Chain A
Amino acid sequence: MNSDYGYLVLENGTTFKGNLMGTGPCSGEVVFNTSMVGYEQILTDPSYAGQIVVMTYPLIGNYGFNPGNMESQHCWLQGLVVNQLCSESNHYQQELSLQQYLGDNKILCLSGIDTRALTRILRLRGTMGGIITSSLDDQTVLHGEASRMTPPPGGYVGQVTCREMTIIGSGLRRVVVIDYGVKRSIITSLVERKCQVIVVPAQASARSILDLAPDGIVLSNGPGDPVDCGFAIATIRKLLGSVPIFGICLGHQLLSLALGGRTTKMAFGHRGANQPVKDLRSGRVYITSQNHGYTVEPDSIRDKAVDIVFTNLNDNTVEGLMHRELPAMSVQFHPEAAPGPHDTKFLMDDFVAQIDKYKRDEQTTPIWHIG
């Protein structure tokens, strides 16, 4: 293993020393994730593009790496920060060790870090920019680099979205997934529900999407600030009311913006597999998988003919919306899980059921079954 000392320098100047794997430097927004399992999915979730991810669980890599668990073709995050990178991994499905995967894909990994101390800083001060580097020679440059978090031209979505349309499966219903950085699990959970899925690039026009004659549209998850995706918001506005629309994560934020709502950046976001979300209609609470740093302002959306159906039990942030007149709904969390709990997979069933009812003109507004 190619390992030497390396450093994480935060934009406020705090420096952590650890063992560096790979050649740097890299920079990005430093965020923490509290999932105890699921690093394969986290590494390959396009929503992490541009970020340095800190895993709060200290042992990462226990079951090696199985490409079958990847959520996209690549590892999108800038760098990984862990307490211990496991070199004792063992699992019948492991094809390579996590070290090997990170090495092969040139992902910087800083280990031996007091990740709890780092997490406490991020929690208190909010997420911030940071840089992973092998040398601390030029402090001022480092600080400048660390605090520069401007997204690439076209935003992170532009970086991660597909270039061409792809068709997956041959189900009874046709669902167009707008790929802002879609996770494979969203596609497979639709295919499993007998949908033919057509994944289109984020920049696809409303016209070209409607030309595909979809029965439903999914606005996928993706990285970055939703306001950077002006083009997407405009497209969604045009699609509203055409067929049932389901927004997930960034898709939820974009739908809210398209409906006239506002989003704000959270202090340190929600990243983990244990976020409790309450269905306000029944009082039922579901444990959800989440990965977002922006949230929809509840007051900005209340008068936009939507009902806030789900809120986060910890901090009361908006977790899900249902339009009162149009067939549109969205959730901030990940019903497709991967990684994380399967509690809200039923939302996928509900979306498919709505597609069918809408097709038969039985129901035009969203249906979410009440647990």
Chain B
Amino acid sequence: MPLDSNLKKVLVIGSGPIIIGQAAEFDYAGTQACKAIKSEGLEVILLNSNPATIMTDTDIADRVYMEPITVETVVKILDRENPDGIIANLGGQVGLNMALALDKAGILREKGVPVLGMPLDAIYRAEDREMFKATMEELGQPIPESSIVHSVGEALHFAAQVGYPLIVRPAYTLGGTGGGTANNDDELAEIVTRGLKSSAIHQALIERSVAGYKEIEFEVMRDHNDNCITICSMENIDPVGIHTGDSIVAAPAQTLTDEEYQMLRFASLKIIRALKIAGGCNVQFALDPFSKRYFVIEVNPRVSRSSALASKATGYPIATVTTKIALGYNLDEIPNAITGKTTACFEPAIDYVVLKVPRWPFDKFVFGDRRLGTQMKATGEVMAIDRSFEAAFLKSIRSLEIGINGLRLPELTELSDVELKARLSDADDERIFIIAEAFVRGASIEELHRITAIDKYFLKKFKNIIDFSKRLQETPLGLDILFEAKKIGVSDSEIACLKGCCEDEVRRLRQSYGILPTYKLVDTCAAEFDAETPYFYSCYEEENEAEHEEGQRKVLVIGSGPIRIGQGVEFDYCSVHCVWALRQAGIKAIIANNNPETVSTDFDTSDRLYFEPLVYEDVMNIIEEERPEGVIVQFGGQTAINLANPLARAGVKLLGTSNDSIDRAEDRNRFDAMVAQLGIPRPPGKSVFNPDEAVLVARQIGYPVLVRPSYVLGGRAMEIVYSEAELRQYMHTAVKASREHPVLVDKYLLGREIEVDAVCDGREVLIPGIMQHIERAGVHSGDSIAVFPAYSLSPAIRDKVVEHTTALARELKVIGLINIQFVEFEDELYVLEVNPRSSRTVPFISKITGIPLVKLATEIMLGKSLEELGYLGGLFVTPNFYAVKVPVFSFNKLQQVDINLGPEMKSTGEVLGIAHSLNSAIYKGLQSAGVDIKGSGTMVVTVSDKDKGEAIPVIAEFAERGFKIIATEGTARALRNHGIEVQTVKKLKEGSPNIVDLIRQGKVDVVVNTLTQGRRPFSDGFHIRRAAVELNVPCLTSLDTLKVILQVLKGDEGAKPQKVLSLQEYVAEYHSQI
């Protein structure tokens, strides 16, 4: 069937903010979807609250609604827009849930609007546990047997039917408390007894354990004519037991025979036919490594993280094809964009190996529980392609940017054999390095297989790398061994490390031998057809397929690598916009990146895509292959900025702000000298190299002080310290963390934080606007609520912001973007930080102001002036509405992580609230972020002594509004002294029922908890905050946030009808005033 002619306008539901388990892959999917709909000449309406995404650009969808993704919002949009259909299967779980919610609320029927593509029935049958079970039974597809039990007797009865091992999961406990794996009746009785006790409803789920089975995934596609294809098979290197999002994954599946492969492929197709899936879908299997027995683990009736991976791994555009199917097309009616000649109805054949490795946030959450299990913990991932498993694997490790270029993690050498063994059996994020270390120490394949259950094939591949490294160490660096090293994927820097020389020497030697990488195409068909795609990966083979046109102007853009805390999808937004601006300027745009979730790694985003690690060796290879006229490092976050120096040293021309200017902004001494010269105040402070110096400086400037190592990303290891004892403790951990770099000790100014993004052509400085943070300085800018435009600055301070920004940008001769953070303290404006590059807020500001910041910056880098681009310097006209950026956290996925806000960034994503009134914008922002603000209820308060004076009047107002206030002894006394009615609750150590019990019993609606002193893990406050997170109770650790919520409550926003307007309408109205 061709395009459904009834369709003129389609509503696409986006996935909202980035959280663990739902990352940039939905920006890639949503952007492809919107583009696919537009290309059919239909109107696209988009609902998504995430301002960092490309899909929410005003030229991707005809109307973008940045509103809370709720049923109410959708109803309002349906009423305004009257779309002919809704597409929900490209917006992750959020999209699917919305489709179901709309159906259950009867909206779809009432408004007569269909969900396109994936039928609702398919969603119900895949998502509902019981319906899924029934469907699989009907099909004869085995799923792991399970049962809900209320007693040990019931559990033993189930065990008698199914056999061991069994997994026990108590109901309604978090983090698996009280659960476990039982191998016999005795163990089962013990675990069930304990589990039932810890379950609030005295109930546990018992399931057959398939831990240790191979975990195999198939990415499949079905159209309305019942044509079914599989796009890609994937094999988790970590067997069942570790979430696939936390597993290292290989594509295609590596260890399956044809018989096994076809058995699972056939089962996938049978399942999607029975579910009547339309579009992309993911099926997960557990396969016994010793028989043909398998179980269906999960069916995701939507585009997922795995489909993004499968899409990038094969070149097959799953999201586009899924959208076209939703619009009515069948697979054989959709052209294969890669070959141009064949259709989308085929199965990709690949002639390389793909590996995906997760990127975990434990560099930020040093106290977090690093162990891996069924709860995903990774924030992002990298993918690497090569002709051999070993090379693809080593590339993916390099791509992680964790400072490791091989498989050796130096600190592991310090572990005892016993410790090493313990960490082998209890998988954590460093497992692969632990396996490597075990091989170095002589462990056998058999032994490691027994402990880890990882297939021997993979273990042998890992061992190959270790064995080769050893041989390399012992062999003089001749042509043969060097060529072998490159084929196996050992990096120049690792070779240098093993041979005790420097990377440049290895590089020169390698090049003198003529050992150069060759680039191969990703073409979906293993070279069977001619392909037009410009999608390349490197390998060391004979033929190089990267052909070059003579006389073509080209520029290389460095992407931002994996999504991590502090470097999210916003940098992909910037990289992609840079690429588009280059292409518009008639320059061939080349992009290098390694994140499979992103728009930048779509083969049709740039003129050429190199899927490569973003480290010196691999990037330099691309530069030598392509010989671009310049390289842009300004948009790829810290990943790209880190390359500025080595590339500049190698004589590469960097477009935009010079490397020297980058250094002047990042090097503390040079920075201090510059601001002093410009007469711009900064908080007093100094660089120190040892604890004694630190203490001395702190005494001079007075506590509290902000301490951090130099060269930081996202406020890593940054802390506010209130006493000498704390400072000494910090110095011992932080200085150890970075030996060469000094530690900065600054006066912590408890002021109002102000942030600016600006674009500069070296002379003129355009400031689109000023952002003001709700939370005072000290909360990382990425974690604070930012309001645009600033809502309460005095004209004098505003003028100073403009003045200082202009002076700094000019002084640094910024060509492109600059981001500056200020703090206003006692009527003075201090500069905190200057980043001569694109920032996290650039997408947000660009969308709101309608000023295409990245495009301007790119054109400026190419030689244009702001004036030529139609802009003047200075502060842009202030809009007549407010846009509020609210951070979103993933704390409920990360156990043992403290949620209090501080100078270290912890949020994983953000949402936008936009409205004509400030209160309404904040309300919408909080709603989008999932902060459920009730107008009344029970509030638990524990505030530190230093905060009591400020907190009491605010709490009093909540009490007046009818909130029931509960507090522990100290806080309760202080509140009572001020005439507030308070119920006292026990502290943890005072026995039960205590404050945490109260939260766990669901009797609390909001928690206010401010940090006592510094970082004290596992204190009372920590347990209170964790309990709140785990029960999804709003927990406020900053009084500023509390005040703003009070303000919203006073405005009675919850009761007001909130207007929805598209971003285009806001911006058009705003621009019409200019």
Interface, chain A (partner B; CB < 8 A)? 16, 32, 34-38, 40-41, 56-59, 62-63, 66, 69, 83-84, 88-93, 114-117, 119-120, 123, 268, 272-276, 278, 282-285, 287, 313-314, 337-343, 371
Contact = CB atoms under 8 A, between A and B. Distances in A.
Contact of A341 (B265, B348, B527): B265
Interface stretch (B4-12, B256-264, B721-729, B894-902): B256-264
Contacts of A37: 252, 256-258, 261
A273 B258 CA distance: 10
Contacts of A38: 258
17 contacts: A34-B349, A36-B349, A36-B350, A37-B258, A57-B349, A62-B457, A69-B258, A90-B457, A91-B257, A114-B541, A276-B345, A278-B332, A282-B225, A287-B346, A313-B342, A314-B342, A371-B226
B384 to A, nearest CB: 14
Given A116-B520, A272-B528, 13 more contacts: A34-B528, A37-B257, A41-B258, A56-B351, A57-B351, A63-B257, A90-B457, A90-B460, A116-B351, A278-B332, A284-B226, A314-B529, A339-B258
A90 B542 contact: no
B891 interface: no
Given A36-B350, A89-B457, A117 B258 contact: no
Given A90-B457, A119-B526, A274 B258 contact: no
- Counting chain B residues whose Cβ lies within 8 A of the other chain, the interface size class is 35 or more
Interface string B755-788: 0000000000000000000000000000000000
A116 B531 CA distance: 13
Nearest to B461: A88
A58 B349 contact: no
Contacts of B183: none
The 3 closest A-B pairs by CB, nearest first: A117-B543, A88-B460, A38-B258
A342 to B, nearest CB: 5
Contact of A120 (B265, B341, B543): B543
A57 B250 CA distance: 14
Contacts of A282: 225
B389 A66 contact: no
B256 A276 contact: no
Interface in B302-351: 330-332, 341-343, 345-351
A14 to B, nearest CB: 11
A84 B541 CA distance: 12
Nearest to B456: A90
Contacts of A272: 349, 526, 528
Contacts of A91: 255, 257
A123 B521 CA distance: 15
Interface in B435-468: 455-457, 460-461, 464
A58 B351 contact: yes
B254 A59 contact: yes
Contacts of B352: 58
Nearest to A271: B528
A275 B230 CA distance: 12
Interface string B239-270: 00000000000001011111101100110010
B526 A57 contact: yes
Nearest to B290: A92
Contacts of B457: 62-63, 88-90
B742 interface: no
B346 A274 contact: yes
B346 A313 contact: yes
A38 B388 CA distance: 19
A32 B526 CA distance: 10
B375 to A, nearest CB: 30
B262 A340 contact: yes
Given A90-B455, A342-B266, A62 B254 contact: yes
A278 B345 CA distance: 10
A120 B350 contact: no
B262 A337 contact: yes
Nearest to B342: A314
B353 interface: yes
B555 interface: no
B520 A276 contact: no
A59 B458 CA distance: 13
Nearest to B261: A37
A114 B346 contact: no
A114 B543 contact: yes
B233 to A, nearest CB: 8
A325 B831 CA distance: 90
B255 A342 contact: no
Interface string B512-536: 0000000010000111111000000
Given A62-B255, A285-B331, A313-B343, A34 B262 contact: no
Contact of A283 (B332, B343, B542): B332
A321 to B, nearest CB: 20
Nearest to A58: B387
A283 B258 contact: no
A35 B262 CA distance: 12
B188 interface: no
Contacts of B227: 284-285
Given A56-B526, A84-B388, A116-B527, A283 B259 contact: no
Contacts of A93: 257
A117 B519 CA distance: 11
A116 B387 CA distance: 10
Interface in B587-609: none
Given A114-B542, A314-B529, A339-B258, A274 B349 contact: yes
A371 B225 CA distance: 9
B289 interface: yes
A115 B352 CA distance: 11
B42 to A, nearest CB: 24
A276 B346 contact: yes
A251 B460 CA distance: 44
Contacts of A57: 252, 349-351, 526
A329 B533 CA distance: 39
B525 A34 contact: yes
B283 interface: no
B90 interface: no
Nearest to A338: B258
Contacts of B254: 59, 62
B229 interface: yes
Contacts of B460: 88, 90
A58 B343 contact: no
A100 B370 CA distance: 43
A100 to B, nearest CB: 16
Given A38-B258, A58-B388, A119-B527, A276 B332 contact: yes
Given A90-B460, A123-B528, A115 B351 contact: yes
Given A90-B460, A114-B541, A116-B541, A313 B345 contact: yes
A84 B254 CA distance: 13
Contacts of A56: 349, 351, 526-528
A257 B429 CA distance: 63
Contact of A16 (B259, B265, B331, B542): B542
A309 to B, nearest CB: 16
B347 A274 contact: yes
A84 B226 CA distance: 38
Nearest to B460: A88
A364 B545 CA distance: 55
Q: Which residue, A91, A119, A275, has most C-beta atoms of chain B within 10 A?
A: A91
A144 B917 CA distance: 85
A281 B348 CA distance: 25
B262 A342 contact: yes
Nearest to A275: B346
Nearest to B523: A116
A114 B203 CA distance: 59
Contacts of A120: 527, 543, 545
A272 B349 CA distance: 9
A57 B525 CA distance: 11
B527 A36 contact: no
Nearest to A16: B542
A56 B351 CA distance: 6
